[in-house]
Chains A and B, each alone.
Chain A
Amino acid sequence: MFELSTDVCNIKTLKNEDLSAYDAIYLGDFSCPEYPNNFSSNPKQLKKGLDLVKSHDQKAYLRLYAVPSNHDMPWVEELIDTAMDLPFDAFEVHNLGLLRVLQEKKCTIPIHLGVFGNLYTHETAKVLKQYGVTRVYPNPELSLKEITYIADNTPIEVLLPVHGKIPLVISETCFIMEHTENTKLCGNNKCNFPCLEDHWLKRGRKDGSSNDWSLKDTGRMTLSGKDLCLIEHADQLSSAGFTAFYVQNKGEAEGYASKVGHIYRTALERAFAGDSGIDCAPWLAELDALSHEGLCNGYYFEGAGQRYFGRA
């Protein structure tokens, strides 16, 4: 009927979190190779993670590092070589150079284009299909109308993010390490992971009101301050023909993916069953309470990403 997926960065989180609401798991943190035991940068972790996901009858997708420099390419290729021997259901790729690498390696595992792949048009989706791409994550700036058009006019599946913070910008270096004075490297010159605590970027307006703009920074990636939320639009998503939905979990506390997943699982099942009179208010209140800066609708209804339009 539909697939609900989320992301998990390492085996510890995979073991601790209740992910039973999800049909598929994106394994790895595509933004920071240094993150502890990140599936995206630790080949030895792959089989353990894959086996655990498969033991729950879920699909396992492996996220590849989103912005590999020339210096990163050898270890990314090593990870790919290990992963190609395992029964992953797909690789998520953000970098077009890596598509060339996978093509040369004659990779037969399906490829999903990630959020930083800059998918804005159906023509781009058609080009990427030639590289083995079977699913695309549309750029968050696209409206639902545009995403629907792309889904209807390409032979590729569209993944629709329905909840969680929106990835806004990525970096090859760590913003927290560069700017936090009391952050020190460990004795072996490795990161001591200050990103495990929440860091926020805030900016007040000239009229004196404070914290009008708020963004979450995980070090190598900046996310929206507000949580994208489409719970009020589940029936619209089912009637538009979308079948792959995603909850963004990077940077969230333990329990977030579980609570959000169960709410959306129920809402989407009811929407796909044709129930159009769903009272979303209790869910909306629960999701709002889970957020740090409130909810937004992203760009889906043709406004600035942090707006919340609610049900039309």
Chain B
Amino acid sequence: MVRLLAPGGSLEMARTAIDEGADVVYVGPLGYSRRPYESEMNDADIRAAIHYARAQGRELLIVLNTYPSPFELPRWLTKAQMFADFGAAGFVVTDVGALHALRRLLPKTTLHVSIGSGICNARDTDFYRSLGADTIILPYRWDVAEIAAARSASDIALEVFLFETVQTGKICPGKCIMSSYLRFREWLEVENQTSFHGSANRGAKECYRVCQAAWQFGRDDAVPIDLKLRRDARLMLEQLPRFVAEGVTCFKLSGRERPVPMIRDLVRFYRKVIDRVLAQADLLDEYTEELAELRLRWVREKSKRVDTLMDRAASYAV
């Protein structure tokens, strides 16, 4: 079975994604999912989203992919139990110890390994399978050969983002703490957290996307060059049939921070593309024009978002 996973950055977005045909919607509780508070949800909204998804025969995943503080872990597990009791289908998790503890607490739940784990090779997927993970999301950097290797390494289900492969660049998320080195801020009241100080990786603070800002680079004695630290990934189309053939069963649409109409259109688009691929029709040429327009919208919205985050970063004390 191949499934389309879509973001729920708000209750409205979660409902929209389900209406447009997402099989699974993922949402993040306030302070637990590496996003600013406006792209996370309070517990009441999560409960409502779970009920809405279940009523339509769909599933809701809870993103608990921060690296919790050791002091926070008991509360983190209590939260997870509460969402399971609400009817959540599973969790997206990063921390090895938290994943292991969650598997013991909820033996029948579904556990997805987050992109924040920063895996590098097929043996990594095997490691997480040994801990009891059911599904692992693969890095943007991986193409068909890496997927095939992961398929051979264990029986863990494979998930990919709907982005084209970008094989260079700094490994983020999973191996990056640049943002919190440069800027930090305290918790906001709405985030309902005070127990420890953290960073984007830990839920408390947003990642300011410093890698996507303008930098100057070079030797001390040379004229610097202007650049960004990472290349942008483009929305995927052509790779999709090959990935399905290699055994990818979950295709994940990013974008909890994007506007709801953009997510609506993207879920609608990828629903029909995936259905076409599953119907054994590999010719996707008729979708290229529509994809081009969506790619433009994606880049435009991403650029606005980076500007907003950098402005916020500049406003916080070091």
Contact = CB atoms under 8 A, between A and B. Distances in A.
B113 to A, nearest CB: 11
A168 B68 contact: no
B55 interface: no
B101 interface: yes
Interface in B184-238: 184, 196-199, 201-202, 210, 213-220, 224-225, 227, 229
A172 B120 CA distance: 9
Interface string B161-205: 000000111111011111011111000000000001111011000
Contacts of B184: 303-305, 307
B279 interface: no
Contacts of A299: 180, 199
A193 interface: no
Interface string A98-113: 1111000000000000
A222 B169 CA distance: 11
B124 A168 contact: no
Interface stretch (A197-205, A236-244, A250-258, A280-288): A197-205
A306 B169 contact: no
B63 interface: no
A122 B96 contact: no
Contacts of B198: 141
B318 A303 contact: yes
Interface in A200-253: 200-203, 205-206, 213, 215, 217, 222, 224
B67 A118 contact: yes
A45 interface: no
Task: Tell me the interface secondary structure of chain A in the complex.
Answer: mixed
Interface residues of A, number: 66
A106 B177 CA distance: 33
A275 B285 CA distance: 75
Contact of A126 (B97, B201, B217, B227): B97
Given A171-B169, A203-B215, A143 B180 contact: no
Given A123-B97, A197-B219, A222-B170, A141 B119 contact: no
Contact of A202 (B71, B124, B175, B216): B216
Nearest to B150: A70
11 contacts: A96-B124, A97-B119, A121-B73, A124-B97, A166-B181, A170-B170, A170-B175, A173-B169, A198-B219, A201-B215, A203-B213
Interface of B: 67-71, 73, 94-98, 100-101, 117-128, 130-131, 141, 145-146, 149, 167-172, 174-178, 180-184, 196-199, 201-202, 210, 213-220, 224-225, 227, 229, 314, 318
Interface of A: 67-70, 72-73, 95-101, 116, 118, 120-128, 139-143, 146, 149-150, 153, 166, 168-173, 175, 178-181, 197-203, 205-206, 213, 215, 217, 222, 224, 299, 302-307
Given A168-B181, A200-B220, 16 more contacts: A97-B120, A118-B175, A121-B97, A123-B95, A141-B202, A169-B171, A171-B169, A172-B168, A175-B170, A201-B216, A205-B314, A213-B210, A303-B184, A303-B197, A304-B183, A305-B177
> Which 3 pairs between the two chains have the least Cβ-Cβ distance?
A123-B97, A97-B123, A124-B97
